[in-house]
Structure 1
């Protein structure tokens, strides 16, 4: 980057002052990570928008610690101050910093300039990929889902599990109990009788795929909306996402980035829930095809970031992606040209990147017919 461009970006870009960090700390922002030296003081020229800052300590034996980090939505020219606490090998909380000292740091930010690395924008590939992964995530989503200043923690729940009564509706499901719980609560999966650890400070939108019908539903309605999750999608869009499906996709993106960048199990579980939900609709595909065009675009962007072995070992567990995409394929209306085009693009991508073929519905129907066909036995020579 030439000096003129750097000067133009200096006032526009955000700045992260990262003080007193130890040597050999792994420090990263988005797709870029470094092992820092004694002079490192932070990052400058950060493009406005959402970013993930993360770090992990390295032992004397060279063993990497658990990655910890926080999401931060940088406004134009915003300056953020963080300071390392050596006693806990983590950052001080914002409330623990001296406000007057922080203000002095901000006023004299240029004194730190030579020790702040520029956000890598050349070549722009990594930043463009980051934008594609996070384009639906809003500051409000980050604040609601990660209320602890955007922090992603791996600290598990520690208190005993509490048995709860069976839910009457989706808002009182086990997932809802998790969202309402304190950061030190273990929830119990009643289906398996096992405790599920919930990372501290994670408040993803709770919904129960088994409770996908309205309270007081008739038997016919329970059957219909149990097979077709459209009612549940409509309810979530109205009740949680202000009627904007991009916010639902934003939560799907935030969950995936928590998995990809922070190896976060809660993010993985929520991502699977949302994929399952959106691939299990019939009525919504007919009424709102744009939602599913955007969903497939978001899903493909995410799968492009997955290494081949990741897809094979995790995403294809129990044929998850295969079964979900087949569900969606089977309900795409013939009149929805844009959705058909997007789905075929996804099929081609899976074939090219993962060497995994999603068969056409006609081929599957033919196989089923062959399986059901009568068997002809030669009575004269039955063996």
Structure 2
């Protein structure tokens, strides 16, 4: 449990421990401004109670947080101000619990058991104000799309990406340059189980695709920088990056 705050120069934020909820909360005090003034007057006396600053991580911390602005924090932080490792969910009443379609045919019942298990999952919703406000991704295939459009949208996600970035970036090339730069510092912070270079590691596979797309789009220098950085920090190798995937090659049939 924690919180994110964008500090301005000289700002002091005071939190206290809530023993009942076992998490930090806003300081409960009759005169908060007076207490803040006392803290400011005694900053030098507080120093002896603080742990040594971790200057070894100072540069890495600057790179990790350098792209986070006040607007970013405000846009994505939960309304409650607290970020938990799991989202609090509303309980699903029994009358709203999905039970699937009523099927009388034994044959159709077996097919339904294999195909439509997700229909039986409850539609759980987070408690309002407790979940981080992640960016909503556009649908890959818009509703009411024609069959031709459905086929086109399933070839790639370019139109969904265009729609996502149109409200954020003026030109996508700049976005990808900044994105690859940020990944240099974010990816080494992954959990250890996601650092293995294996075919089951979707993070590694996605980075391979991203590098290939950036090379092909002419972002050679920043792609090379990211590739070199990941080779050093995660020991990831990207051999045969430009070789064709066997699944994408045409099938030759000899008659």
- Same fold at TM > 0.5: yes
Could you tell me which runs of 5 or more consecutive residues in structure 1 were left unpaired when the two chains were aligned: 1-67, 165-188, 246-286, 375-383
Q: Which has the higher contact order (CA 8 A, sep 6+)?
A: 2
Give the Cα separation in 2 of the matches to 1:305 and 1:80.
27
Q: What runs of 5+ residues in structure 2 fail to find an aligned partner?
A: 99-116
Aligned partner of residue 72 in structure 1, secondary structure: coil
On the 8 A contact 1:143/1:149 being kept in 2, the answer is no
Residue 60 of structure 2 is aligned to residue 129 of structure 1:
yes
TM-score (norm 2): 0.68
Aligned length: 228
Deviations 1:172-199 (A, max 9, x none): xxxxxxxxxxxxxxxxx94894777869
Matches within 5 A, 1:30-69: 68-69=1-2
What is the match of residue 155 of structure 2?
227
| Mapped pair 1:341 → 2:218 | no
Change in Cα spacing, 1:163 to 1:225, as seen in structure 2 (3 Å) is farther
Check conservation: 1:85, 1:91, Cα contact below 8 A: yes
Deviations 1:84-136 (A, max 9, x none): 23343333445xx23x421111122224641355686573x422212211222
Alignment partners' CA distance in 1, 2:23 and 2:17: 6
Distance in 1 between the 2:120 and 2:157 partners? Answer: 23
In structure 2, relative to structure 1, the CA distance for the partners of 1:158 and 1:367 (3 Å cut) is closer
Match of 2:22 in 1: 89
Q: Which of 157, 162, 165 pairs up with 2:89?
A: 157
Secondary structure of 2:195's aligned partner: helix
Alignment of 1:258-273 (within 5 A): none
Q: For 1:84, what is the secondary structure of its paired residue? A: strand
TM-superposed CA distance for 1:346, in Å, is 2.8
Offset of residue 140 of structure 1: 2.3
Q: Is the 8 A contact 2:91 2:124 kept in 1?
A: no
What is the deviation of 1:76? 1.4
Q: Which residue of 2 aligns with 1:141?
A: 72
Mark the CA change 1:118 to 1:73 in structure 2 (over 3 Å): closer, same or farther. Answer: farther
C-alpha displacement at 1:229, in angstroms?
Answer: 1.9
Name the structure 2 match of 1:71. Answer: 4
Distance 1:152 1:369 in 2: 42
The residue number in structure 1 matching 2:208 is: 326
Change in 2 beyond 3 A, CA 1:216/1:86: closer
How far residue 147 of structure 1 moved from its aligned partner, in angstroms, is 2.8
| TM-score under structure 1 length normalisation | 0.48
